[in-house]
Every structure is written in structure tokens, then in C-alpha cells.
Structure 1
Amino acid sequence: MSAAKRAVRAAAVLRRDAARDAAGSETASRIADRFFEAVPVPLQALIAGYVAMGSEADPAEVLARASAKGHVCALPRVARRDAPLDFLQWQPGDALVAGAHGTREPAPDARLCRPGIVLVPLLAFDAHGRRIGYGGGYYDRTLAALRREEPGILAVGIAFSAQEAEDLPEEEFDARLDWVVTETGARAFAAAPRGV
């Protein structure tokens, strides 16, 4: 299975790079439009995003609009290898510091929090809510832990539409997405939770 995932990752990186290069300057705004048109965001929901790296689809506009609507936002921190991510409260404009694996994260004294919606970066997704990430398992562990404590947690993949793939390989611990949002639309997946 890991060999199959490695092959899918290699192709997915190239496809995502091409999608980012083809994306116009309005792509982040279109993703935010689709997100708020389709995803059920409860009042006062805490929304965790991420700081886009490389050719990742950027959720910055989703977080900016969420903050403007009064939602508390957060960003992830890798606290320990092989452990779920921590989420630290953050609002657009707050300072960021260097984190693990080249990430950017809130300052160490930022408040720990538990999100109700998690925006998830990815290399590829399919029509069943499966995703391929980077192979570290951080989001799989995190979503499993959150869903054990709060079954209503929503995992929303943020992607370019060109990142959709056919029937991605899946292992028992892989956590599926509840939604994926791209610049062209949003899609909900039935019976998403796995890896719980």
C-alpha cells in the first residue's frame, strides 16, 4: 500500500503544481465563495486552517472572511512526531513563527483550542472523500482524535479542482474528508469518518 501511495503522491504533486500555476489571482476568493455558499458553518464555530506551503490551495481568504464574521480561527502546530496536531488560536494579522517541516504557526504563547471545522491541505482527493497527504499521518491522527471526542467535527479539504483523482488507495487509519472545496464548487461526502 505504501508503494501505491508513493506513486500517487508523485503524480499528485505534479498535478497540483500545474493547477497552482494555472490558477488566476481570484482563485483563493472563489474557494472562499464556494466554502461559505455550501459548508454548514455554525454560529461561533472555531475554524482551523493552515498557512499554505508550496503549491497548496490557499485557505487565507476563508480564514479572513471567517474572522470578519466573528469566528475564532486557529492554525496547527506539530507538538510531537507521531502525535495529533495542536491548534493555536490565531487571527489574520497575528504574527507567525517558524514551525516543524517548514510550516508557519502562531507564537508559542497562543491559546490552545479545539476546532469544530478543520481545513485540510492535500495532494489529491477522490469522489469518496479519500485524500492523499504528505505521508506523515498528522491529519489522520488529528481527525481521528477529534472525532472520538466530538463526532460533529467537519474535515474540509481545500484544493484545486484539478487535484481530483480516481479511487485513491486507502488504509484503515486514513481519515476521510466530510467536504472538499475547490475554486469550482463544494462537495459533501457521506459516511466520511474513518480512521477513528
Structure 2
Amino acid sequence: MTSPFDKPALRLLARHRRAAAFAARPDAGQALAGFVDDLDIPDSAVVAGYWPMADEIDPRPLMEVLAGTGCRLCLPVVETRAAPLLFRAWQPGQALEPGPHGTFHPAAQAEVVVPGVLLVPLLAFDESLHRLGYGGGYYDRTLQSLRLAGPVRAVGLAFAAQRLDSLPAEADDQRLDAVLTECGLILAEE
């Protein structure tokens, strides 16, 4: 059995589980859009999405619905490895540029915005809504920085199969406020 503190082994397990979930339901991102009302995001909110890589659940159908309700969308930009993410305004249909780590982001001239809601990719999550990411710490640094500046809500997007019993939580790890899967919204058990 894998030690709960062996993050490389947990990441490998989580990648396999996510790949299997994606193979079974490649259209699961469309199901996320059906739960938009459960998210209770104000129409005027600035919402940070992400451009999906490989077998991540696809947030684009949800982002399109949010844009249709009046939300302003943005996507993350990696400026440097040690810095929090920067967010640039984006709307569905706008061209993107390739970024580091296989990402895509809005052009440099796009407006920089500060989101109030972040849709966060992940490898795994647990019942306490701890998140296992890719190991770069980008979202942890970003959430910490945004939460120091004001209220922000972090919603992980995942396949239901990405849920694990428990994950290690380190001092710098930022907990999610909710996780949305193809089966519905999960809130932290208080």
C-alpha cells in the first residue's frame, strides 16, 4: 500500500485513475455545465478557468455557460516558476498562445484581471477537499496570495473517480472550497 505521504506515488496513482475516468467519460466536461446553478456564482464575477491538458476534465463547456450568464472569464499565465499565476481576460473563441508546461493562455496584450472564483485542475482530491496538484505549487501560491488580498473561492474540477480517501496536507497547501465532478458539487465536510 502506498504511504499517504508519498506524493510521487500518489501522483502516479492519481494520473492512472484520471486517465481511466477520461477514457470512460471523455464528454464529462459537458456534465459540469449542467451543475452551474449549484455553484452559485454571481453573474458579475470574474472567473478564472483553465485550458485543459491531456486527460483533465474539460472546463470549457462550464466556462461558456458562465460567460453566457455575464461572468467575466480569464485564464492563468505562468510568468515565473516561483511566482503566483497571473490572470488575463479571455472569452470563448479568442485565440490563445502556447505557454510553459503545455499550457495555453491569452495574448500578452490581454487585460490582467483578479478573479474572485478559480476553477482549479487537479490530480486528486479528498473528503476534506485537499488537492493533489502536479507538484509545481502554482495554484497553492496563487490561492495564498489571492486569499491574503481578499475573498476568493477555489472550485476544483475533477472526475468523481479522482477522489481519494485522504491526501497529505502540508503547511503551504491551500484547501479547495468545493469540487465539481460530473456527478455534482461536493462541499467540504465541516
* TM-score range for the pair, normalised by the shorter chain length: over 0.9
Q: Which position in structure 2 is the counterpart of 1:194?
A: none
Q: SS of the residue aligned with 1:147? A: helix
1:133-172 to 2 correspondences below 5 Å: 133-150=133-150, 152-172=151-171
Q: Say which SS state the counterpart of residue 114 (structure 1) adopts.
A: coil
Q: How does 1:121-136 map to 2 (within 5 A)?
A: 121-136=121-136
Counterpart contact for 1:125–1:168, Cα < 8 Å? yes
Say whether the 8 Å CA contact 2:5–2:168 is kept in structure 1. Answer: no
1:75 paired with 2:72, answer no
Q: Does the 8 A contact of 2:88 with 2:113 survive in 1?
A: yes
Amino acid at match of 1:59: P
Task: For residue 43 of structure 1, report the CA deviation from its aligned partner.
Answer: 2.8
Question: 2:59 — aligned with what?
Answer: 59
The DSSP-based 3-state class of the residue aligned with 1:64 is helix
AA in 2 matched with 1:72: R
Contact 2:122 2:156 in 1 (8 A): yes
The one-letter amino acid of 1:96's match is L
Q: Which runs of 5+ in 2 are unaligned?
A: none
Matches within 5 A, 1:1-196: 4-25=6-27, 27-34=28-35, 36-150=36-150, 152-189=151-188
Q: Could you tell me which amino acid in structure 1 is paired with residue 179 of structure 2?
A: V
| 1:104-125 CA-partner distances (Å, limit 9, x unpaired) | 0001110000001000000000
Number of positions where the alignment pairs a residue of Structure 1 with one of Structure 2: 188
DSSP-derived class of the 2:67 partner: helix
Asked whether the 8 Å contact 1:120–1:156 carries over to 2, the reply is yes
Quote how far apart the aligned CAs of 1:37 are.
Answer: 2.7
Q: Give, in angstroms, the shift of residue 2 of structure 1.
A: 10
2:108 and 2:16 map into 1 onto residues whose CA distance is 34
Deviation string for 1:106-147 (max 9, x for gaps)? 011100000010000000000001010000000000000000
Q: Is the 8 A contact 1:178 1:190 kept in 2?
A: no
* In structure 2, C-alpha distance between the alignment counterparts of 1:187 and 1:19, rounded to whole Å: 18
% of aligned pairs identical?
44
Give CA deviations for 1:47-92 in whole Å, capped at 9, x if unaligned.
Answer: 1000000110110011101111111100000011111000000000
| Backbone CA RMSD of aligned residues | 1.5
> What SS does the aligned partner of 1:76 have?
strand
**Counterpart residue identity of residue 103, structure 1:** T
Q: Which segments of structure 1 move beyond 6 Å, counting only runs of 4 or more?
A: none
Question: TM-score, length-normalised on structure 1?
Answer: 0.92
CA distance in 2, matches of 1:101, 1:112: 21
Output the TM-score relative to the length of structure 2.
0.95
User: In structure 2, what is the Cα distance between the partners aligned to 1:71 and 1:21?
Assistant: 31
Q: Distance between the aligned counterparts of 2:143 and 2:8, measured in 1? A: 22
Report SS of the residue matched to 1:62: helix
**Structure-2 separation of matches of 1:189 and 1:144:** 18
Structure 1 Cα separation of the partners of residues 70 and 30 of structure 2: 18
